[in-house]
Amino acid sequence: MPPIIQAQNLGKTYRSGKLEVPALRNVNFSVERGEFVAIVGPSGSGKSTLFYLLGGLTQATHGSIKIDGVDFAQLSDSERTRFRRSHIGFIFQRFNLLPTLSALGNIELAYDISGLKAPMDRHLLDHLAEMLNIKGRLEHRPNELSGGEQQRVAIARALITRPSIVLADEPTGNLDTKNSDAVLAMLRQSS
């Protein structure tokens, strides 16, 4: 089986007028199925750029990315979107919860747009809510939740579809030690 993630000579350059700013240069790595990988580095080192490239949210300037054997460069925008919805779970640093929906509504929406045909697994939802300590908060809207609760809802949203990979940008940044430990344990379980 191919690696779940494979990057070859991956590069991204941002342009602002005549100025070119290289964010990544010739990055090569692979991640095997079931591996749990953390990418660390100082601010400005390209971690977020890599996050967006691996998730197909932006395109590389050069090189290739294969996710689950599929080369992102060979997909159209709509094909990449469909692939993302069903194969990649995202945990964004800023949560990206819809303010008009409850926590449960945000999780259900992620499932609905995934394209999965089977009904959402309510046992998995209960398990995620229990593990993430948000069971009593599912009917609340994001503005009624603390930053840590919003982050845990975003994590449940990312995991509800059982994606092939989970990309997380600082998934424990707003959490206390107890909840950080629970989140890391859950992410390890899903890898």
In order, the DSSP letters of 37-64 are: ------TTSSHHHHHHHHTTSS--SEEE
pLDDT in tens, 126-150: 999 998 999 999 999 999 999 889 9
CB 89 within 8 A of CB 154: no
Domain 5-74: CATH architecture, name and number where available: 3-Layer(aba) Sandwich (3.40)
* pLDDT tens digits in sequence order for the chain, 191 residues long: 889 999 999 999 999 899 999 999 999 999 998 888 988 888 888 888 999 899 988 889 999 999 988 998 888 989 998 898 888 998 887 888 999 999 999 999 999 988 888 888 999 999 999 989 999 999 999 999 998 899 899 999 999 999 989 998 877 677 778 777 777 777 777 65
| pTM, entire model | 0.84
Amino acid at 12: K
Token pair recorded at residue 175: 């959490």
Residues 6+ apart with CB under 8 A from 35: 4, 191
Q: Domain extents for the chain?
A: 5-74, 96-164+173-190
Q: How far apart are CA 73 and CA 55, in angstroms?
A: 12
Q: Which CATH superfamily is domain 96-164+173-190 in?
A: P-loop containing nucleotide triphosphate hydrolases (3.40.50.300)
Fold matches, 5-74 and 96-164+173-190: yes
Which pLDDT score, from 0 to 100, does residue 116 have?
A: 84
Q: How far apart are CA 189 and CA 74, in angstroms?
A: 31
